């Protein structure tokens, strides 16, 4: 099978509107979480989120077309443009062999909410003709493939909070099996709206620490009380290794392993077994790919949602794979900084992993103050740590019991 490498990256999130500014703030231990401004929260129990700030969609697409696309598509377009420019692709590439793998957990929820209100309070005929195409998850790939004239496979992953990582895996499989030479992965989400916040709040999934937004998301801390919603997008250009070498491309890393699994247990309550099996599958594949039975994982970017169940279970799954805590790699979660970006999380966190590997620095887990006996690994607490990073793992787990794990290696 073909080798697959990453030659372009881009991201936008609550910390910054490009990969460099947001990564620097991640390393600095800053957070983008604050009071919600996208809608009136007076009647809501949760009033905090990680919003993208100072972003004008008219800067990334024709102003006349902005209303045809939901905000998650706007954000995805922004990150995809950055990734494509970063890849420095030659003009003569075969666009029939260049595909797209898009991902989102929910899609155009704000538009669904808006047009539902129109249908109920006004009249069905007042529903926007752009409603359906602006809300469908695969329209993320549709809009972007048109913008970049990508005529290869047009795929879409809709697997809750694992969607972004599954998007990377689907693109990798496509290139490995010869279905395309290059794939653009775009994972995007924007569900900070009344029905989005209200729905997750009704499930008791969100933090209610409204008085202290900056410290509300605290992965692995004993006082964690739920995740904080974020929004944003992450994009990666994946390429056949031989083609990338032939054109002298900058290579951020190679995909050497991936794993997928299903919990088959509960639609919203996480377990240990599913994440463990996905991590194990990715690790075993990585050892085969590198022909190294003793392959060392230098860092794990955890799913780390700041929910009581996930953080405990993910910690145990890591120990099941690597043994006693002394043998486990350092682990951190950036969701205390970006918020939980749902289907975009895997894309944003993959970009973060590749930048961390390039710069040999592990992002911190901020707001870690109170140790939990069930979460006893090295979580790189509160301060980034310089360390040689050659192999990194990124975890994503989603509602419905769907899990995805990907492993990157320096080339």
The set of catalytic residues is 161, 303, 340
CA 33 – CA 340 distance, rounded (Å): 10
For 162, other C-beta atoms within 10 Å of its C-beta total 31
Q: Give me 194's structure tokens.
A: 């009344």
Q: Check the CA dihedral 336-365-302-169 and report its sign.
A: positive
Length of the chain: 411
Asked whether 155 and 141 are in contact (CB, 8 A), the reply is yes
Q: Cα-flanking dihedrals φ and ψ of residue 377, to 5°?
A: -95, 180
CA 67 – CA 345 distance, rounded (Å): 25
CA 249 – CA 228 distance, rounded (Å): 37
CA 253 – CA 405 distance, rounded (Å): 16
Q: Give me 41's structure tokens.
A: 């929260």
Strand partners, 386: 361
Non-local (6+) Cβ contacts of 306 within 8 A are 207, 217, 218, 219, 220, 221, 224, 225, 226, 227, 228, 333, 335, 336, 340
Strand partners, 182: 98, 239
Give start and end residues of each alpha helix (H) in 235-344: 241-246, 273-290, 308-322, 335-338
Strand partners, 13: 16
Q: How far apart, in Å, do the first and last CA atoms of the chain sit?
A: 17
Q: Give me 47's structure tokens.
A: 């009033």
Q: Where are the beta strands (DSSP E) in 133-252?
A: 154-157, 182-189, 232-240
Asked whether 79 and 186 are in contact (CB, 8 A), the reply is yes
């Amino acid at each position: 099978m073909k080798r697959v490498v990453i030659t372009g990256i881009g991201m936008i999130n609550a910390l910054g509107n490009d990969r460099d500014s947001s990564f620097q703030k991640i390393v600095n231990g800053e957070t983008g979480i604050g009071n919600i401004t996208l809608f009136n929260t007076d009647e809501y129990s949760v009033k905090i989120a990680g919003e993208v700030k100072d972003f004008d969609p008219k800067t990334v697409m024709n102003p006349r077309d902005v209303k045809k696309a939901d905000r998650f598509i706007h954000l995805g377009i922004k990150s995809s443009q950055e990734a494509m420019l970063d890849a420095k692709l030659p003009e003569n590439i075969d666009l029939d062999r260049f595909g797209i793998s898009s991902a989102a957990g929910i899609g155009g929820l704000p538009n669904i909410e808006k047009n539902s209100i129109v249908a109920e309070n006004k009249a069905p005929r007042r529903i926007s003709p752009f409603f359906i195409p602006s809300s469908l998850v695969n329209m993320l790939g549709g809009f972007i493939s048109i913008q970049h004239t990508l005529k290869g496979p047009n795929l879409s992953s809709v697997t809750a909070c694992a969607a972004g990582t599954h998007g990377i895996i689907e693109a990798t499989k496509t290139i490995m099996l010869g279905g395309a030479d290059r794939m653009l992965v775009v994972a995007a989400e924007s569900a900070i709206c009344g029905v989005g916040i209200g729905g997750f709040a009704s499930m008791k999934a969100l933090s209610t620490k409204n008085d202290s937004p900056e410290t509300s998301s605290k992965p692995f801390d004993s006082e964690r009380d739920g995740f904080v919603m974020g929004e944003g997008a992450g994009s990666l250009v994946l390429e056949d290794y031989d083609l990338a070498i032939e054109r002298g491309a900058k290579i951020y890393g190679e995909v050497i392993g991936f794993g997928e699994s299903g919990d088959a247990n509960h639609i919203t309550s996480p377990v240990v077994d599913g994440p463990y099996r996905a991590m194990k599958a990715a690790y075993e594949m990585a050892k085969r790919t590198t022909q190294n039975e003793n392959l060392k994982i230098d860092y794990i970017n955890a799913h780390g949602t700041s929910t009581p169940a996930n953080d405990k279970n993910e910690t145990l799954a890591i120990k099941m794979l690597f043994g006693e805590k002394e043998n486990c790699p350092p682990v951190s979660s950036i969701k205390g900084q970006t918020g939980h970006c749902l289907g975009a999380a895997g894309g944003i966190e993959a970009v973060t992993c590749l930048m961390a590997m390039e710069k040999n620095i592990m992002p911190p887990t901020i707001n870690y103050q109170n140790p939990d006996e069930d979460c006893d690994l090295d979580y790189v607490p509160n301060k980034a740590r310089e360390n040689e990073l050659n192999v990194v793992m990124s975890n994503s787990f989603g509602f419905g019991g769907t899990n995805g794990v990907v492993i990157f290696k320096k080339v």
